Amino acid sequence: MVAPSIYIIFYNNHFYVLQIIARKNGKLHFKLIDSLCKDPVVNYFLTSPTEFTYEYLSYQIQPYRSSLCAVYCIYFVNQLTKGRSIGQIIARFSTTNLTKNDKLISKYYDRLLQQTFRPTNFPYCGI
């Protein structure tokens, strides 16, 4: 089996995550994550030939006015690389309190920056 490929796609002013997995039976399996759950990209998967299987996020977890779309995608990619399913990934998110989800993603982003940009990672640039 071929290792999964993960892509962050920017389309129609919005970021998506697409993971492609080659199955042993030769069929491809797609995981499409759109935190706004708003775009016709999902419709492509729903109306395309059944030469592949797919999963997708079927409800919105990000507020429409949020500017953290790319951070949601970074979080999703991180979780997919750990082998988590879409269901496992979104279990932490609220389906009713989308502002709470933004706060969760903001905290994730802050922790990510602290881990990545510690002064010990840049010993010669004065950070």
How does pLDDT run across 82-102, given as a tens digit for each residue? 989 889 999 999 999 999 999
SS3 of residue 71 by DSSP: helix
Longest dimension (CA), the chain: 55
Q: Phi first, then psi: what are they for 67, rounded to 5°?
A: -105, 15
Question: What angle is formed at CA 113 by the lines to CA 11 and CA 101, rounded to 5 degrees?
Answer: 60
- Considering the domain boundaries, does residue 69 fall inside one? yes
Task: Report whether 37 contacts 59 (CB < 8 A).
Answer: yes
41 part of a folded domain: yes
Residue 126 lies in a domain: no
Residue 105 to residue 37: CA distance in whole angstroms: 17
pLDDT the model gives residue 106: 94
Share of the chain above pLDDT 90, in %: 38
Spell out the alpha helix ranges (H) of 8-122: 41-47, 69-81, 86-90, 98-116
For residue 127, is it within any domain?
Answer: no
* Residue-range definition of the domain harbouring residue 36: 5-121
Question: Pick the residue with more confidence: 125 or 50?
Answer: 50
| DSSP structure class, residue 117 | S
In a domain, 65, yes or no: yes
- pLDDT at residue 1 is higher than 70: no
Q: Could you tell me if residue 86 is inside a domain? A: yes
Number of domains observed in the structure of the chain: 1
What is the pTM (predicted TM-score) of this model?
0.78
The pLDDT value recorded for residue 99 is 96
Residue 90 lies in a domain: yes
- The arrangement of strands across the sheet holding 28-33 comes to 5-11, 14-22, 28-33, 52-56
